[in-house]
Amino acid sequence: MSTNHVCALREPLIDGVADLGQVTRDVCDPLDQAPTVAWYGAFAAALCALSFGAVMVIHQVWTGIGAWGLNKTVGWSWDITNFVFWVGIGHAGTLISAILFLFRQKWRTSINRSAEAMTIFAVMCAGVFPLIHMGRPWLAYWVMPYPNPMGPLWVNFRSPLLWDVFAISTYFTISATFWFVGLIPDLATLRDRLPEGWRKRLFGLASLGWSGSHRTWQHYEMVYLLLAGLATPLVFSVHTIVSFDFATSVIPGWHATIFPPYFVCGAIFSGFAMVLTLMIIARKVMNFEGYITLRHIDAMCKVILLTSMIVGLAYSTELLTAYYSSNHYERFAFINRIRGPFAGFYWMMVFCNVLVPQTLWFERIRRDVRVLFVLSILINVGMWLERFVIITISLHRDYLPSSWTSYSPTYVEIGTFIGSFGLFFTCFLLFCRVLPMIAISEVKGVLHAD
Amino acid sequence: MQTKTFVGVFDSGRAVLAAARAARGKGLIIRDAYTPFPVHGMDEALGLPPSWLSRACFALGAAGLTAALSFQYWVSLFNWPMNIGGKPFDASPALIPIAFEITVLVAGVGTVLTLLAFRGLLPGKPAAFSGLGATDDKFLLVLEGRPEAELQAFYREQGALRVEELAGGAR
């Protein structure tokens, strides 16, 4: 029976699921079964990539970051590109879990759990790059203001790089807290259906004695709302601060007031593409097609289309600003971008981020899972290129022609990037096997409303 | 007198909500309801006041903001003033990003910890009624303080699937 009025023309959020017990079974049963061959294959590949990356990291910590292709002109390249790329991926998770919650978008319930997991793993991958870029990662705690015997000596609170430290660590902590709070009721569901044994005890510890008491639910819902309200400005602040790393400098191509909204939109754009990639795989492999329906995919495609157009607008605004500024250096930075030695990267970026998503105007494309899979990967390639274009192309030819140079990555940088994908997918595949991928209690609430 | 506590097991959110409203109408003492997801309207049915955690969150956020700003000012003005190109020491706009992040951090994590402490959600704590399916597909209503016959009759009338008795007072 319906308690809310739902338009009859609308497809149901959850398809072919009869009752609450079935939701529990559908989400939890895969966790009790042995992993499939496909899972083992994917996990082995991810672990290989992770190990390769670990070897590369050890190598560059041992020899110093001279093992990278950086030089005195191009001081940031693959490392910071990868950092911004991964932080951006994370943003869609918070958007889905927090902003769509505030907008009461019920379709988020099927995908928010895995999107939040994606956020946490992506921020972990992002954190690796500045850490190893320090060269001496065992001194990483120096970026924190702590009382020390070196005289009055503190970090520089006026530095955007320090803002970044606070933004990323806060973002990671709040995302992990939000994720865990959402998990508590589902951990209790797992605990209650498991037979006696170490898994039951483990979930018993983790579920904190959750019993579904309404006196707790009442406060829990308030806390969830508050966290969503806090995470929403947080997610905007994080990529804004990441963009400050560039925008507060004097490099042509970086020094632009458009950067914060441009970066935030790009982050949501790339993050949604990554959610799409993961969900298309997950719904097939885990048999969640009744939960992650074509309606969910269609809604994600619309967000991608919107953010793609904002990103496209930002690209053209950058060009117009450069032209209209009458500033030689600014103009040159953009002429170099579109006609210089890295022009192929720029046009590939425009193709992937602006042209390809235009196909999403057509409903046929928005509901063709195979096409979307390719499209989502193209967008991620495009968004990685965007950061590379901004960072490397702006740096390699700046004010002083005598210091112009080129840049190419070494195998160490490429290997570290591959390793970060290994870390991401290793974590994500373990998550799929250990924790409920779909927020059971939230889906039950939506099932009831429909 | 030993008070008796009875748990009625229902099979839908609507049924348990109707039962809770009826129980409140009849003046029965409702200890709590246990549901797989938050049943909306249950707050009023149980007569619960609005959650005060929003005020706790605001206070924590304000504390975080004050701490972050005052620490940064103390460092920048008194303990370690740095002259960077003659720029002012009290560079307020530059102190905002970190102040904002700390505000969110303290408010977010603090509110969650407050919830866990206030509702006694701690690792290893045994869960009440964990065998009755309130985390799966059953909805429980716990009533107490009335003679057994009256409570049994009430649950039957409300369409409970079954009724279980709990030893006095056990949570």
**Hey, where are the domains in chain A?**
22-146+153-449
Question: Is residue A88 predicted with pLDDT exceeding 60?
Answer: yes
With CB atoms and an 8 Å threshold, state whether B119 touches A191: no
Domain boundaries, chain B: 5-49+130-166, 53-118
Joined together, the tokens standing for residue A202 give 């483990």
The distance from CA B132 to its chain's CA centroid, rounded to whole angstroms, is 21
User: What distance in Å separates the CA atoms of residue A352 and residue A297, rounded to the nearest whole number?
Assistant: 19
Other C-beta atoms closer than 10 Å to the C-beta of A434 total: 13
What percentage of chain A has pLDDT greater than the value 70?
95
Whole-angstrom distance, CA of residue B21 vs CA of residue B149:
20
Q: What is the pLDDT of residue A4?
A: 44
pLDDT per residue over B13-51, tens digit each? 888 888 888 888 888 888 889 999 888 888 888 888 999
**B131/A156 Cβ within 8 A:** no
CA distance A39 to chain B (A): 27
At A77, the amino acid letter reads S
Q: Which of A427, A449, A450 minimizes the C-alpha distance to A179? A: A427
The model's confidence at residue A86, banded by pLDDT at 50, 70 and 90, is: very high
Q: What is the pTM of this model?
A: 0.92
Does the pLDDT of residue B105 top 60, yes or no?
yes
- pLDDT level of residue A294 (50, 70, 90 thresholds): confident
pLDDT in tens, A192-238: 888 888 988 899 899 998 988 999 999 999 999 999 999 999 999 99
Task: Find the residue in B nearest to A244 (Cα).
Answer: B97
> Contact A211/B14, CB-based, under 8 Å?
no
Mutate which of B87, B102, B136, B142 to test chain A, going by most A C-beta atoms within 10 A? B136
Q: CA distances (Å), A235 to each of A9, A284, A288, B66, in order?
A: 34, 30, 28, 22
User: Residue B101 and residue A19: Cβ atoms within 8 Å?
Assistant: no
pLDDT digits (tens, 9 = 90+) for A182-204: 999 999 998 888 888 898 889 98
* pLDDT tens string A103-137: 888 778 888 888 899 999 999 999 999 999 988 99
Please tell us whether the domain made up of B5-49+130-166 is placed in CATH 3.10.450: no
pLDDT-based confidence at A356, cuts 50/70/90?
A: very high
CB B38 within 8 A of CB A217: yes
Higher pLDDT, A234 or B169: A234
Chain B contact set for A223 (CB, 8 A): 53, 57, 111-112, 115
Burial class (CB in 10 A: 0-12, 13-18, 19+), A2: exposed
Query: CA of B127 to nearest chain A CA: how many angstroms apart?
Result: 4
B53-85 as b/e: b if 16+ CB within 10 A: bbebbeebbeebbeebbebbbebbeeebeeeee
Return the number of CB contacts < 8 Å for A and B.
Answer: 198
Residue A21 has pLDDT above 80, yes or no: yes
Tell me what pLDDT residue A413 has: 92
Q: Locate B28 and state its tokens.
A: 């029965």
Residue B142 phi/psi, 5-degree rounding, is -110, 115
For residue A237, which residues of chain B lie inside 8 Å, CB to CB? 97, 100-101, 104
Instruction: Write out pLDDT tens, residues A315-346.
Output: 999 999 999 998 999 999 999 999 999 999 99
Chain B residue with CA closest to A443: the answer is B37
Q: Please give, rounded to a whole number of angstroms, the shortest distance from the CA of B94 to a CA of chain A.
A: 5
Report the residue from B76, B104, B125 with minimal CB separation from A234: B104
Q: What DSSP character marks residue A99?
A: I
pLDDT of res. A13: 67
Burial A24-44 (b: 16+ CB within 10 A, else e): bbbbbebbeeeeeeebeebbe
**B169: confidence class by pLDDT, cuts 50, 70, 90:** very low
pLDDT level of residue A448 (50, 70, 90 thresholds): low
Nearest CA in chain A to B87: A158
- What strand order describes the sheet that includes B5-10? B29-34, B139-144, B5-10, B162-166
Q: Is the pLDDT reported for residue A180 higher than 90?
A: yes
CA A184 to chain B, closest CA, distance in angstroms equals 10
Q: Which has the higher per-residue pLDDT, B64 or A9? A: B64
**Is the CB of B124 less than 8 angstroms away from the CB of A204?**
yes
Find the mean pLDDT for residues B145-154.
81
Q: What is the pLDDT of residue A392?
A: 93
* pLDDT tier at A16, thresholds 50, 70, 90: low
